[in-house]
Structures are given as structure tokens and as C-alpha cells.
């Protein structure tokens, strides 16, 4: 199942903040700017109002990130915290569960920001320790959640290793890249349910060969940061035909006939800058092709994205990547757009799993983050709009599934295996828990008097009925 709501929402953003090719990309990809279903989204290359980025003084992304996590990173951490806890408990307590599960944080970072806010590996280590203790106590046998955090940067790894030390030998910080460690992990943890988090800056580490392996095991799942803005930027570099400097030079070298007397100063300097920009663009193009081919596993993505009108390309990238995750073994794919405090679409988290229960747990984690987010209210509302389902479609699915049945809204505590509407909605439709009130309102006419909430659904209408 690939959740459809985000896929159908499309046209909010265009090409690129790639400095080399920004203008030509905009030109090449230009087209009518259709209004998005979600109008609060800014383009990530627009500086937030009132805050101009000082020329030539760009802080490294990594340094800025770990000075203090931005509200949208903290929002992501709320999702991770809630999901890791649910994942450990659910896998540990399910019938037939083994004695060990594994969490791999493939781009782990420093462990915390400079203010001490926990990053993904610390959040995972803490959630793992709690779930491990609870599950062991409940089962009466030892249960272990191992955490492997991988980080390529030497300084980040040193900080990470120091912060993870108190968690003991179930939690390890490895230096390097996932591709250097994955074989060893596969050997060491055969048949072990594993959750991979791949949360890089940009798309480079998100390689198809690795993601395919991460999803290979029967109970494996992955939470991936898909940098859709980076994908658009790379695509822009690939299809760009002219840089801003080249255009300036072209205009200067061929003045408009209306002004034949116009003197162009510094034509040579313009030509030199144009040449440099051409070389830079060629390099960006080569690297963009390499990164996107590696992410998708082959070159077939390019004509598919090229065929899509510009305003729908971001959605097309996310849809195509989600379809690849299904080809690589996922049965459930949930797309989680993350918007930053200025209203800029930052990236899309994509959860690829092989179980309806995992899909449901991630929807609950996303709702938990939306309800407790440090982001401004309007940004939270915007993210809700982006993932919310079509309630009438959900109602139709419920009426079809439970035609002629009398069924409870919530689980029956006395018989948890008995079907109920709530579980069906979470596991088999696109709807999120934050939509429950609206859904219940929609279903009110089928409700029987009294408590708990029980519905009596009609039989399915046949074609004859409808006539
Ligand atoms: C966005 S940060 C990770 C943040 C972390 N997941 C968190 O939520 O706290 C990305 C980190 O991945 C590291 N990195 C980049 N490419 C990598 C690779 N191929 N393998 C491992 N780490 C990588 C960077 O050095 C950086 O520390």
C-alpha cells in the first residue's frame, strides 16, 4: 500500500537552489506556476522573509545543524521517539518474537546538538533501553534491542561514541558508511527484525543497492529521508541548457538591434565567467546523474521525470521513489512531508515496511508529533493538510469492508482479534488518527444508540439499487 494523499497533492514547488544553475534551471523548467493544493509552502531557495543569507558566508550545513536542532528537526525527532518505542514494544511482544531486534542509524550524526537536545541515535538508545526492560519483564525472558549507529565524520563519530557509552554493549557507534558495515551486520544478525534509519544531508548516501539490502529481511523496515528538494535541484542541473553568466554574456555579445550603439564593458570578463559557469554546470550535471542513478538503481527515472510537467515533479519524484521501495520489498509505504518553521518544504520522510501494524504505528507517531510539535501552528496545520485523506473515500472503504455488519469503532478489549473500524482505518486506508473526529462525524448516521460506539452498516448497493 502506498498512501495516496500526498501523491495526488502536487504542484507546490519548482526547481532549484543550485547556485551554479539556478537561473537556467528556472528558465528550462519554467512553466505556468500552478497554485498548489497547499498554499503555505515556500520554495526552499527563497530566503525567509526579512532574513537574507549573507553572500559568501554560508555556514556548513553540518555545523549549523548540530549547533541547535531546528524546530522541524525536533519535530522529526518526536516522530522517531514515538515510533522507536512502539517498534520495540510491538516486535518484542508479538507472538513468536525472537530474543533480539536491531536498529541501525546509518547517518547518525553527533548524537546531540550543542545544547544537549538528543539526536536520532540517542533517542533510539533510550527508547531501546526502556522497551528492552519492559518487554523482558513482561515476557519473563531476556529481550535485547541492539543499536548500531554509523557516522562517517570523525568528529561527529567521536562525540557520538562518547554519548552512547553509558548505554553499554547493546549500543555501538561505528565509524564509516553503511556500505562498509552492511555485510558484517547481515552476517551478525541473520533473521533479526531490523529497522534502518537513513537520514543524510542530501541524496548521496541513499543508494538503491543499500536500501534494497536494508529491506531484504522478512521483518526489515526502513525510514528514509528523501531530500526531494535536492532531487529537483539535481534534475535541474541535468536538464539546464544555459547558466545565468552565459545568458549575460550572450545578451552582451549580441545587443538588441534597438540599441546598436550600446557599449558593452568587460565583454571578455563576461566570457570568462560564462566559461567557468559552463564548467561548473557540467560538473554539477555529472554528479547529479551519478547521485540520482544510484538512488533509483538505474537510469529509467530520468525520462519518467522529464515527461512530468514541472509543477508536478516533486510529487513525481516521491511517487517514483515509493514505487521503487515496493519493488524492493516494502508492502506499506508512508510519505511524511516535513515543513520547516518558515513554511518551506524541507524534505519527505518515507517509511517502508512489510506490515500493516508498522504502517499504523508510524501514522500514530506522525500524529503524536503533529500534536506536540515545536513548529508554529500554521506549519503543523499545513503538514496535516498535506497528508490528510479524503474522508468520503475512507467512508466508502469502510462501507465496502463492513457491508451488512454490526461492528465496533474501537477494539473489543475482551477479544482484540475481532475486526473494528478504527483498526481497519489505520491499517488499510490512508487516514491518520487526527482525522478520527471528522470520520466519526461522517459515520454518525450508521451509529447505534448508546456506548461504546457501534455501527450498523447497510449492505452494499448493487447496480440495480442505484438505478
Ligand atoms: C542529518 S545528519 C543526521 C542527523 C541524525 N540522524 C539526527 O537525527 O540526529 C547527517 C549525518 O550523516 C553523516 N553522513 C553523511 N553521509 C554519510 C554516509 N554515507 N554514511 C554515514 N554517515 C554519513 C553526516 O556526517 C551527518 O553527521
- Please choose, from the candidates 324, 348, 352, the residue with its C-alpha nearest in 3D space to the C-alpha of residue 217: 352
Report the distance separating Cα 460 and Cα 464, nearest Å.
11
Pick from 71, 76, 78, 107 the residue to mutate for probing ligand 1's pocket: most ligand atoms within 8 Å of its CB.
107
Cα of 149 vs centre of ligand 1, distance in Å, is 10
Report the distance separating Cα 75 and Cα 69, nearest Å.
10
Structural element, H or E, at residue 335: strand 332-339
Query: Which residue is closest in CA terms to ligand 1's atom 10?
Result: 200
Q: How much is the pLDDT for 466?
A: 53
Q: Does residue 75 carry a pLDDT above 90?
A: yes
Which residues lie below 8 Å from residue 423, measured CB to CB, with a gap of 6+? 360, 411
- Please choose, from the candidates 153, 56, 167, the residue with its C-alpha nearest in 3D space to the C-alpha of residue 103: 167
Question: How deeply is 271 buried, as exposed, middle or buried, from its count of CB atoms within 10 A (0-12, 13-18, 19+)?
Answer: middle
Q: How much is the pLDDT for 50?
A: 33
Please give the mean pLDDT across all residues of the chain. 86
- Poorest-pLDDT segment among 34-38, 119-123, 291-295, 368-372: 34-38
- Poorest-pLDDT segment among 78-92, 235-249, 316-330: 235-249
Query: Which residue is closest in CA terms to ligand 1's atom 14?
Result: 107
Pick from 108, 123, 164, 295 the residue to mutate for probing ligand 1's pocket: most ligand atoms within 8 Å of its CB.
108
Report the distance separating Cα 410 and Cα 342, nearest Å.
38
Q: What is the DSSP letter of 310?
A: G
Residue 255 pLDDT class (50, 70, 90 cuts) = low
Query: Which residue is closest in CA terms to ligand 1's atom 15?
Result: 200
- Poorest-pLDDT segment among 180-194, 196-210, 242-256, 306-320: 242-256
Cα of 16 vs centre of ligand 1, distance in Å, is 22
Cα of 196 vs centre of ligand 1, distance in Å, is 13
What integer is the mean pLDDT of 111-140?
Answer: 97
Nine-digit cell string for 72: 522541524
- Which position has the higher pLDDT, 59 or 217? 217
Q: How much is the pLDDT for 1?
A: 74
77 CA: nearest ligand 1 atom: 8
Cα of 108 vs centre of ligand 1, distance in Å, is 5
> How many other C-beta atoms can be found within 10 angstroms of the C-beta atom of residue 156?
20
Report the distance separating Cα 263 and Cα 265, nearest Å.
6
Per the CB < 8 A criterion, the answer to whether 234 and 305 are in contact is no
Q: How much is the pLDDT for 451?
A: 87
Per the CB < 8 A criterion, the answer to whether 105 and 124 are in contact is yes
Pick from 70, 72, 84, 152 the residue to mutate for probing ligand 1's pocket: most ligand atoms within 8 Å of its CB.
152
> How many other C-beta atoms can be found within 10 angstroms of the C-beta atom of residue 231?
29
80 CA: nearest ligand 1 atom: 8
Cα of 199 vs centre of ligand 1, distance in Å, is 6
Residues with CB under 6 A from ligand 1: 62, 65, 106-109, 119-120, 150-153, 156, 177-178, 199-201, 205
- Poorest-pLDDT segment among 23-27, 70-74, 387-391: 23-27
- Poorest-pLDDT segment among 38-52, 294-308, 323-337: 38-52
Give the chain's end-to-end CA distance (angstroms, integer).
33
Residue 273 pLDDT class (50, 70, 90 cuts) = confident
- Poorest-pLDDT segment among 45-54, 134-143, 345-354, 416-425: 45-54
Residue 254 pLDDT class (50, 70, 90 cuts) = confident
Cα of 118 vs centre of ligand 1, distance in Å, is 14
What integer is the mean pLDDT of 37-52?
Answer: 36
Cα of 362 vs centre of ligand 1, distance in Å, is 22
Residue 13 pLDDT class (50, 70, 90 cuts) = very low
Cα of 14 vs centre of ligand 1, distance in Å, is 26
Q: How much is the pLDDT for 247?
A: 82
Report the distance separating Cα 435 and Cα 431, nearest Å.
7
Residue 19 pLDDT class (50, 70, 90 cuts) = very low
Amino acid at each position: 500500500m502506498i498512501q495516496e494523499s500526498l501523491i495526488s497533492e502536487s504542484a507546490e514547488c519548482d526547481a532549484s537552489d543550485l547556485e551554479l544553475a539556478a537561473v537556467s534551471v528556472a528558465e528550462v523548467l519554467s512553466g505556468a506556476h500552478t497554485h498548489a493544493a497547499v498554499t503555505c509552502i515556500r520554495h526552499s531557495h527563497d530566503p525567509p522573509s526579512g532574513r537574507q543569507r549573507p553572500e559568501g558566508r554560508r555556514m556548513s550545513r553540518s555545523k549549523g545543524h548540530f549547533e541547535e536542532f531546528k524546530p522541524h528537526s525536533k519535530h522529526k525527532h518526536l516522530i522517531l521517539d514515538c515510533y522507536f518505542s512502539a517498534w520495540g514494544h510491538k516486535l518484542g511482544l508479538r507472538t513468536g518474537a525472537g530474543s533480539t531486534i536491531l536498529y541501525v542509524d546509518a547517518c547518525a550524526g553527533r548524537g546531540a546538538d550543542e545544547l544537549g537536545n538528543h539526536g536520532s541515535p540517542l533517542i533510539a538508545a533510550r527508547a531501546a533501553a526502556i522497551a528492552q526492560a519492559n518487554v523482558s519483564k513482561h515476557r519473563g525472558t531476556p529481550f535485547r534491542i541492539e543499536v548500531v549507529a554509523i557516522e562517517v565524520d570523525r568528529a561527529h563519530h567521536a562525540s557520538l561514541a562518547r554519548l552512547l557509552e553509558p548505554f553499554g554493549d547493546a549500543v555501538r557507534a561505528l565509524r564509516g558508511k553503511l556500505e562498509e558495515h552492511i555485510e558484517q551486520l547481515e552476517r551478525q544478525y541473520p533473521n533479526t527484525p531490523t529497522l534502518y534509519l537513513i537520514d543524510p544531508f542530501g541524496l548521496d548516501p541513499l543508494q538503491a543497492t543499500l536500501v534494497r539490502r536494508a529491506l531484504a529481511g522478512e521483518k526489515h523496515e526502513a525510514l528514509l529521508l528523501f531530500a526531494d528538494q535536492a532531487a529537483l535541484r539535481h534534475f535541474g542541473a541535468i536538464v539546464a541548457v544555459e547558466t545565468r553568466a552565459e545568458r549575460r554574456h550572450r545578451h552582451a555579445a549580441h545587443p538588441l538591434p534597438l540599441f546598436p550603439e550600446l557599449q558593452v564593458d568587460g565583454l571578455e570578463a563576461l566570457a570568462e565567467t560564462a566559461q567557468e559557469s559552463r564548467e561548473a554546470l557540467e560538473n554539477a550535471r555529472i554528479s547529479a546523474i551519478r547521485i540520482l542513478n544510484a538512488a533509483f538503481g538505474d537510469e529509467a527515472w530520468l525520462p519518467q521525470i522529464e515527461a512530468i510537467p514541472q509543477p508536478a515533479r516533486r510529487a513525481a519524484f516521491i511517487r517514483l521513489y515509493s514505487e521503487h521501495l515496493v519493488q524492493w520489498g516494502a508492502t506499506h509505504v508512508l510519505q511524511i512531508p516535513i515543513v520547516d518553521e518558515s513554511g518551506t518544504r524541507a524534505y519527505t520522510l518515507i517509511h517502508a515496511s512489510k506490515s500493516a501494524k508498522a504502517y499504523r504505528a508510524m501514522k500514530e507517531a506522525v500524529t503524536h508529533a503533529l500534536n506536540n510539535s515545536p513548529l508554529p501552528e500554521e506549519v503543523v496545520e499545513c503538514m496535516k493538510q498535506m497528508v490528510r485523506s479524503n474522508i468520503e473515500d475512507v467512508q466508502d472503504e469502510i462501507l465496502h469492508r463492513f457491508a451488512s455488519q454490526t461492528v465496533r469503532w474501537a477494539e473489543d478489549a475482551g477479544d482484540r482479534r475481532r475486526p473494528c473500524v478504527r483498526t481497519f482505518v489505520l491499517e488499510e486506508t490512508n487516514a491518520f488518527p487526527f482525522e478520527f473526529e471528522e470520520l466519526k462525524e461522517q459515520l454518525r448516521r450508521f451509529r447505534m444508540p448508546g456506548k461504546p460506539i457501534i455501527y450498523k452498516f447497510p449492505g452494499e448497493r448493487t447496480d440495480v439499487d442505484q438505478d
